[in-house]
A and B are shown apart, each in its own frame.
Chain A
Amino acid sequence: MDRTTIDLWVGIFVALGVAALLGLAMKVGNLTSSQIGPTYSVTAAFENVGSLKPRAPVKSAGVVVGRVDSIVFDSKKFEALVTINIDKRYTFPKDTFANIYTAGLLGEQYVGLEAGGEEDALKNGDKISQTQDAIVLEKMISQFLFSKASEPKSDGKEADSSNKPTEAKATGVKETELGDAPF
């Protein structure tokens, strides 16, 4: 076969490969979406991080503003020390709240930041003091069961608990929902 034809075909082949890699990187992978600019890091201590992982998103008002950098165990305070990198474009007040939320019922966990009202902004190396732990499903269910067990049996006629039946009903609905969920 002619040498120039072979060169042409090999060129097409390599170009196709590069195009496919670019397509994978841009359209399939998170190379474009995960790009956050220069960051500053702050730490937050949690008593329980649940299944939070490094590289999990940090969101505020639902917008990704950073990523979790590392999670280490503090053996002095017996807490989890989470370092998060926040995009330099966003500043948060010093009394910002850090919560661990779950996306959906069984989705991945992420750190949610809720801005406080203070004037000073968080700086590199600061520590967020107000945190809320991840919700552990087993704990929640056991709490619910205990509160249910300690409740007097209400048939709606008890005089002292005018709002209890509705509450019990509301939680009762929740229970059946959890029972039906496929896990």
Chain B
Amino acid sequence: MIKSKLLNSLTRTLSGIGYRMIERIWRLGAGARLFFLTIFYSGESFKRFHLTLREIYFTGVMSLLIIVVSAFFVGMVLALQGYNTLQKYGSSEAIGVLVALSLVRELGPVVTALLFAGRAGTAITAEIGLMKTTEQLSAMEMMAVNPIARVIAPRFWAGVISMPILATLFSMVGILGGYIVAVPLIGVDDGAFWSQMQANVDFRLDIVNGLIKSLVFGVACTMIALFEGFDAPPTAEGVSRATTRTVVISSLTVLALDFVLTSFMLVI
């Protein structure tokens, strides 16, 4: 009797794990399918490019303020903290290198992607989820309008285009913030700040690699937001859950991808 109870609970636990695993894999497959469909129907959506421009306005331009302000503060904090440690070793002039390399290589792409997931990703998920809930997507299909070409692809390309631009702006504004703290406030030499930076930041290895990272993050964040919205259960609760999941999954994916990309980039 006890034995069969134990066996029952064990079976239930195992099948629970199996169910979750299968669901995850199914979602991964559905996401990949949506990604390929998006790429496939992109040509169709590029014929009406103003749709993409409109989405660039909503995802990119509207994110400018949060990106610029946070970049400024991140740069200033980096300069303060870096100076605090570097001056112990008598090399406070290296602060320019520290700020520039941390921003261009890591913080620029990663923090931009995290902010983007919070600012634009959630909006995309909620919008598409609500479109699905109110059956706008089905209505489009009824009118022989492909919702992937009309709704998904413009948002995808807008995210992919916006992210590297935002990340570049983040790095540049962050370096300016670091400059303002290091040179006028702390009194590090102006020439040494820039010349050490220029001597140690490589265009190909640092700046272009940072751009590649942000491009990959752009694809990942936008695609996750789109899929979560597209896949959301058509209820108020479902949309809210999908929005939360967008932020969580995007953030984790960005951080994990960052590690993978960095390990590839540093080996070369």
Which residues in B have their C-beta under 8 angstroms from that of A1?
57
A146 interfacial by beta-carbon distance below 8 Å: no
Q: Give A84 to B162 CA distance when docked, in angstroms.
A: 41
Contact check, A29 vs B207: say whether CB atoms are below 8 A apart: yes
Min CB gap A182→B, angstroms: 6
Min CB gap B202→A, angstroms: 6
B89 interfacial by beta-carbon distance below 8 Å: yes
Q: Give A32 to B169 CA distance when docked, in angstroms.
A: 20
Min CB gap A110→B, angstroms: 11
The digit string for A53-97, where 1 denotes a CB below 8 A from any CB of B, is 001000000000000000000000000000000000000000000
B124 interfacial by beta-carbon distance below 8 Å: no
B201 interfacial by beta-carbon distance below 8 Å: yes
Secondary structure call for the B interface: helix
Which residues in B have their C-beta under 8 angstroms from that of A9?
57, 61
Decide: A10 near B60, CB < 8 A? Known: A29-B207, A30-B202, A30-B203. yes
A168 interfacial by beta-carbon distance below 8 Å: no
Contact check, A7 vs B171: say whether CB atoms are below 8 A apart: no
| Contact-size category for B | 20 to 34
Select one of A10, A16, A30, A32 contacting B57, CB under 8 A.
A10
Q: Give A25 to B197 CA distance when docked, in angstroms.
A: 11
Contact check, A23 vs B172: say whether CB atoms are below 8 A apart: yes
Contact check, A29 vs B203: say whether CB atoms are below 8 A apart: yes
A21 interfacial by beta-carbon distance below 8 Å: yes
Contact check, A28 vs B60: say whether CB atoms are below 8 A apart: no
Which residues in B have their C-beta under 8 angstroms from that of A17?
164-166, 168-169
Which chain A residue lies CB-closest to B88? A182
Contact check, A16 vs B207: say whether CB atoms are below 8 A apart: no
Which residues in B have their C-beta under 8 angstroms from that of A16?
64, 165, 169
Select one of B162, B164, B201 contacting A28, CB under 8 A.
B201
Q: How many residues of A contact B (CB 8 A)?
A: 26
User: Which stretch (B17-25, B31-39, B48-56, B148-156) binds chain A?
Assistant: B48-56
Decide: A29 near B201, CB < 8 A? Known: A23-B172, A182-B89. yes
Contact check, A13 vs B61: say whether CB atoms are below 8 A apart: yes
Which residues in B have their C-beta under 8 angstroms from that of A25?
203, 207
Which residues in A have their C-beta under 8 angstroms from that of B211?
21
Q: 21 pairs across A/B with beta carbons < 8 Å?
A: A6-B53, A9-B57, A12-B61, A13-B165, A20-B169, A20-B172, A20-B173, A21-B168, A21-B211, A24-B104, A24-B168, A24-B172, A27-B198, A28-B171, A29-B201, A29-B203, A30-B199, A30-B200, A31-B203, A182-B88, A182-B89
Would you list the 9 A-B pairs with minimal beta carbon distance, nearest first? A17-B165, A20-B172, A29-B203, A31-B203, A20-B168, A6-B57, A20-B169, A13-B61, A9-B61
Residues on B facing A (Cβ under 8 Å)? 50, 53-54, 56-57, 60-61, 64, 88-89, 100, 104, 162, 164-166, 168-169, 171-173, 175, 194, 197-203, 206-207, 211
New A-B pairs, 18, CB < 8 Å, besides A20-B165, A182-B88:
A6-B53, A6-B57, A10-B60, A13-B56, A13-B57, A13-B60, A13-B61, A16-B64, A17-B169, A20-B171, A24-B168, A24-B207, A28-B172, A28-B198, A30-B200, A33-B198, A34-B202, A182-B89
Residues on A facing B (Cβ under 8 Å)? 1, 3, 6-7, 9-10, 12-14, 16-17, 20-21, 23-25, 27-34, 55, 182
